[in-house]
């Protein structure tokens, strides 16, 4: 059986990257102050607009789609006899397969990330030699590098997909998700450790993505339950527990829902997962569009280069047209926000050109392969490890490429292509 891939997950990933890019472009204002480039946030001057940030904070969707893709790919690529084999000399056992796969995922990411950091280092060095103010160089460097925090929890969770998928298969997603949420709550109470909190917060949507890949979230009432409980938790935390009203950080405020991620960010991810489950039929239709497929194929370079593109276009436009609203003017009213919306098509067009160049060093730009279906039986009770289930129409596994955001790698050496085609 070789059905088409679930286009709904493609649409989720595309919406996630679009939300992150547009959100960053709308809340990041560059201004000239004392001859140097600084960052301002319109959310600081327009507090009434802060609730809108909850619609554009789509990182939870990234991890939901990532958990789905990692679980599906892991099930598809795992050698049939790996469970019975110890680590062998040629590395074909379960441990050997894991050791081969994780470095490959890292290598696929290191090339585009290394290219970005290398060009940034050259640009900052040239700027320093040309006498560009240190504050400007620091601002540019921080804006370009800051999105890379995403890679730490994403790679950590992807590397742990085998035990995570096993736990979800045996006991369901609730125990692991609840434990991760408890870690985040402890951090909110001042008893957390940043790397642990960062990984724990995004474990929740990642685990829900794994459960979706295993066919556990097929019931419509599950979507309503996740949407209602997540939205209620966000409202309670903001209005009753004095959590920030913005989903993202606002300069000048002492607390953030995203740095580090708070329990409100986790609740938002749960609500978003519920919305995805309810909208899957529509998302599957959306996912068949050519633009969605193209955005999926270029998701990694889009994510890496969107801030650098925004900086370059803003400075270049300001050089010709001066300090216009939405460019280097202070973001102190809704006129700035309206002007920034008008500039977004130029930012997007420039980003397309950058991605066409940078994408040649990444896995982006190629259409995704079809998914295959594998069996996992959803169940409310814990099961013994290794017990096999039934086929589920929700469980689809990529043909030959593993997606890390939109990055793929090849089949493990323990399985030939002929064997794959024969299935």
pLDDT tens by residue, 7-20:
889 999 999 999 99
pLDDT for 239 beyond 80: yes
C-beta of residue 82 within 8 angstroms of C-beta of residue 97: yes
Q: Is the model's pLDDT at 122 over the cut of 90?
A: yes
Q: What is the pLDDT of residue 352?
A: 94
* Dihedral angle sign, alpha carbons of residues 411, 297, 61, 211: negative
How large is the average pLDDT for residues 354-364?
67
Q: What is the dihedral of CA 61, 63, 64, 70, to 10 degrees?
A: 140
* pLDDT attached to residue 67: 94
Q: What is the C-alpha R_g of the chain?
A: 22
User: What was the pLDDT predicted at 92?
Assistant: 44
The pLDDT of residue 81 is above 80: no
When the pLDDT of each residue in the chain is averaged and rounded to a whole number, the result is: 80
**180-193: buried (b, 16+ CB within 10 Å) or exposed (e) per residue?**
bbebbbbbbeeebe
Checking if the pLDDT of 408 tops 50, the result is no
Residue 185 in this model has a pLDDT that exceeds 80: yes
Highest mean pLDDT among 200-204, 333-337, 390-394: 200-204
Percent of the chain with pLDDT over 90: 50
pLDDT in tens, 38-61: 999 999 988 899 999 999 999 999
Indicate if the pLDDT at residue 374 is higher than 70: no
Residue 400 banded pLDDT, cuts 50, 70, 90: very low
C-alpha distances in Å from residue 319, one per residue of 31, 240, 390: 13, 47, 62
CA-to-CA distance for 212 and 154, rounded, in angstroms?
A: 18
pLDDT band for position 103 (cuts 50, 70, 90): low
Q: What percent of the chain has pLDDT over 70?
A: 75
pLDDT score for 416: 37
- Under a CB-based contact definition with an 8 Å cutoff, are residues 222 and 380 in contact? no
CA 257, CA 267: separation in Å to the nearest integer? 11
């Amino acid at each position: 059986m070789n059905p088409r891939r679930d286009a709904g997950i493609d649409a989720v990933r595309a919406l996630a990257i679009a939300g992150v890019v547009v959100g960053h472009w709308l809340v990041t204002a560059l201004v000239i102050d004392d001859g140097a480039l600084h960052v301002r946030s319109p959310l600081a001057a327009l507090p009434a607009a802060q609730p809108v940030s909850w619609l554009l904070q789509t990182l939870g969707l990234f991890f939901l789609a990532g958990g789905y893709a990692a679980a599906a790919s892991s099930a598809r690529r795992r050698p049939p006899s790996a469970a019975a084999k110890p680590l062998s000399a040629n590395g074909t056992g379960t441990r050997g397969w894991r050791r081969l796969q994780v470095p490959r995922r890292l290598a696929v990411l290191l090339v585009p990330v290394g290219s970005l950091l290398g060009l940034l280092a050259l640009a900052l060095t040239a700027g320093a030699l040309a006498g560009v103010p240190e504050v400007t160089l620091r601002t540019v460097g921080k804006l370009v590098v800051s999105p890379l925090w995403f890679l730490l929890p994403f790679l950590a969770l992807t590397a742990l997909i085998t035990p995570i998928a096993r736990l979800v298969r045996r006991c369901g997603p609730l125990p692991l998700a609840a434990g991760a949420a408890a870690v985040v709550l402890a951090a909110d109470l001042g008893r957390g450790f940043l790397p642990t909190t960062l990984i724990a917060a995004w474990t929740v949507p990642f685990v829900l993505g794994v459960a979706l890949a295993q066919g556990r979230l097929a019931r419509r009432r599950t979507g309503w339950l996740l949407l209602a409980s997540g939205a209620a938790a966000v409202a309670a935390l903001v209005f009753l527990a004095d959590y920030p009203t913005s989903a993202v950080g606002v300069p000048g405020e002492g607390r953030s829902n995203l740095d580090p991620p708070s329990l409100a960010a986790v609740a938002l991810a749960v609500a978003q997962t519920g919305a995805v489950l309810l909208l899957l039929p529509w998302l599957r239709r959306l996912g068949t569009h050519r633009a969605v497929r193209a955005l999926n194929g270029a998701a990694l370079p889009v994510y890496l280069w969107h801030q650098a593109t925004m900086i370059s276009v803003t400075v270049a436009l300001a050089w010709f047209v001066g300090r216009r609203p939405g460019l280097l003017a202070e973001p102190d009213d809704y006129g700035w926000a309206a002007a920034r919306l008008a500039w977004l098509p130029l930012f997007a067009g420039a980003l397309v050109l950058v991605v066409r160049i940078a994408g040649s060093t990444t896995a982006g730009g190629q259409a995704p392969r079809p998914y295959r279906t594998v069996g996992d039986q959803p169940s409310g009770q814990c099961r013994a490890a290794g017990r096999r289930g039934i086929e589920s129409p929700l469980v689809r596994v990529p043909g030959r490429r593993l997606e890390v955001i939109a990055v793929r790698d090849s089949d493990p050496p323990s399985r030939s292509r002929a064997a794959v085609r024969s299935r």
